[in-house]
Amino acid sequence: MTKFSELNLNPKVLKAIEEAGYDTPTPIQAGAIPPALEGRDVLGIAQTGTGKTASFTLPMITLLARGRARARMPRSLVLCPTRELAAQVAENFDTYAKHVKLTKALLIGGVSFKEQDLLIDKGVDVLIATPGRLLDHFERGKLLLTGVQVMVVDEADRMLDMGFIPDIERIFSLTPFTRQTLFFSATMAPEIERLTNTFLSAPARIEVARQATASETIEQGVVMFKASRRDREGTEKRKLLRKLIEDEGEACSNAIIFCNRKTDVDIVAKSLKKYGFDAAPIHGDLDQSHRTRTLDGFRDGDLRFLVASDVAARGLDVPAVSHVFNFDVPSHAEDYVHRIGRTGRAGRAGKAMMICGPKDEKNFDAIEKLIQKEIPRIENPLQEAEPEKEEARSSEQKDTKPRRSRGGRGRAKQADPQPTETVDVQVQAAPEDTKSEKPAQSEKSRGPRNRRGDRSGRDNNVVGMGDHLPSFIAKSFDERRAG
C-alpha cells in the first residue's frame, strides 16, 4: 500500500501530514498527487468525502515552496463554488503549510473589500476565492492573474449548477496559457466535459469510483410520505422528521437536515427548536459571520442539528456526522450524492434518510437511476398509530354527535342517558267523557295560547319554527282568518 512518504512530497509537508495523523493516502490522493508534482494537468473524478482537497493542496504547497509572490499577482489560484468550501480549503492550507513560509488570501463574500485588498497588496502565494468575489476585485483593478502558475477548480459540477461556468471561462482567459490546471468534480456533465476539453492540455484522468456513487459505508433509506390533507403537508412532514430522529435515539449523535428552499430551512429549524431539539439554520441569505459561528458550533459539538440548504452540501468536512436527513428530495440527482456524502466520511459508518412525497417521485426516480441502486423503503413510523387513532376518533364522534329534533333545526336532543333503575308508577285513569266520543286533548295537542290568553283549539305550529311560534306570525294568521 502506498504511503505519503513515497509520493515525493516536500519533507516539511510530510511532517505536517504526520502531525495531522495521516499516513496512507486515499485512492484519489494516490492517483492525483504524482502527475500534479510532475506539472501535468489533472482531471480528478471521485465521490464526495474521498479527500479531494488534499489531492491538490499537498502538491501545490510542494511546488510553491520555492519562490516569492509579487504584489497583486498571486502565484496560484483555487476556485470554489461556496464560501464554506473556500474556507475549508484555506484551513487545509494552514494545516499542511505550517512548516513552509507561504502566504494566502481568502476572497469570499460577506467580508469587507478593504481587508482583502490589504492582503492582496502584500502579495500572496495562494489565492482561494469564489468566482464572483474574484472578478469583483479584478474589475476594481486590485488584482492581476498573469502570474498564476497553478490553477485549481474544485467541485466543478457544483459550479455548473450555480451558474458559474461563464465566470470560470472568463477567469481561465485571464490566466497564462502555460499554467498548470487541476480540475476536480464528482460528476461529469456534458458542459463540464466541454470545459475540460477546452482548458486542460492532455490531462491525467484519475477516476477512482463510478461517477456519482455514494459511499458503501452509508446506510440509505427513504420514507414514502403522503399527507392526509394538502394544507397539512408541511406540519405532518415536520412531525415525521421529528419521529425519525427520535427513533434513532442515541445513535443520532448529530445530523445535517437538508431542505430545498431557504424558507423551509428557517421553518424546519424553528420547528425543531420549538420541540426541544438543538437546531440552527444555515443558508445563503445569512451573513457570513453568522454562518461561520453556526458551522463552528456544529463542528465543535455544541450544536446537534444543522438545517441547511444546498449551499452547505459541498464543503462541509465534519468527520463525525452520524446522520443526514433529506427533508426534501433534491431537484438535481447529483445533489443527493453530495448531501449524503456529509456522513460516512473517511471510512466511517453513516446513515442517510429521505422523505419523499407524491410530487417528488420523478426526482426520486432520477436519483435511483443515477446511483444505479434501489434505495430501501422505510415504513412510515406514524402510520402504525394512525388507524387506531382514527378509529377511536370516529367512535368518539359517533357517541357525541348531536341529534336533530324533528320540530326544529336549532334544537338538538341530549345524548342518551345512562340506564337507571326502573320505578313502577301507578297512574289513575281519567273518567270517560259521556258527552263526546272524541278523546280529550292533552295540554300540548290543544296548541299554544293566543294573545288573548284563550285557546283556539287548532295547531298553530309552523313547519321549520319548532314548537315556539312568534306572536307576529300568529297575529297574521288570526287576521287572515278573520278576513
Nearest CA-CA partner of 205 in 182, 228, 225: 182
Asked whether 153 and 165 are in contact (CB, 8 A), the reply is no
Give the pLDDT of residue 418. Answer: 45
- Beta bridge mates, 326: 258, 354
Long-range contacts from 378-383, C-beta under 8 angstroms, 24+ separation: 378/221, 378/222, 378/223, 378/353, 379/223, 380/223, 380/224, 380/225, 380/240, 381/240, 381/243, 381/244, 381/247, 382/236, 382/239, 382/240, 382/243
CA 340/CA 348 separation, integer angstroms = 13
What's the burial of 395, exposed, middle or buried (CB within 10 Å: 0-12/13-18/19+)? exposed
Three-state secondary structure call for residue 180: strand
Give the pLDDT of residue 307. Answer: 95
Give the pLDDT of residue 372. Answer: 87
Cell 492525483 appears where? 32
Q: Does domain 4-207 have CATH number 1.10.3720.10?
A: no
Strands 412-413 vs 403-404: parallel, antiparallel or unpaired: antiparallel
Give the pLDDT of residue 478. Answer: 57
Give the pLDDT of residue 394. Answer: 54
Q: Do 218-383 and 4-207 fall under one CATH topology?
A: yes
Give the pLDDT of residue 9. Answer: 94
Strands 180-185 vs 42-45: parallel, antiparallel or unpaired: parallel
User: Can you list the positions of beta strands (E) in 113-164?
Assistant: 126-129, 150-153
Nearest CA-CA partner of 445 in 462, 460, 428, 464: 460
Concatenated DSSP letters for 328-355? Answer: S--SSHHHHHHHHTTSSGGG--EEEEEE
Taking only the tens of pLDDT, the chain with its 483 residues reads 589 999 999 999 999 999 988 889 989 999 999 999 999 999 998 876 678 899 999 999 999 988 888 888 999 999 998 888 898 899 999 999 999 989 999 999 878 888 899 989 988 999 999 999 999 999 999 999 999 999 999 988 888 877 898 999 999 999 999 999 999 987 788 888 998 999 999 999 998 865 566 778 899 999 999 999 999 999 999 999 999 999 999 999 999 999 999 899 999 999 999 999 999 999 878 887 888 899 889 989 999 999 998 765 565 677 789 999 999 999 888 788 888 888 887 678 899 999 999 999 999 999 999 888 899 999 999 876 555 555 555 555 555 555 554 444 444 444 444 444 444 444 444 444 444 444 444 444 444 454 444 444 445 555 555 566 666 666 655 555 555
Asked whether 282 and 352 are in contact (CB, 8 A), the reply is no
CA 298/CA 305 separation, integer angstroms = 8
- Residues 325-379: tens digit of each pLDDT: 999 999 888 788 888 888 887 678 899 999 999 999 999 999 999 888 899 999 9
Cell numbers found for residue 453? 290568553
Distance of CA 420 to the CA centre of its chain: 60
The domain spans of the chain are 4-207, 218-383
If you classify domain 218-383 with CATH, what class do you get?
alpha beta
The residue length of the chain stands at 483
Q: What's the pTM value of the predicted model, to 2 decimals?
A: 0.64
Give the pLDDT of residue 74. Answer: 94
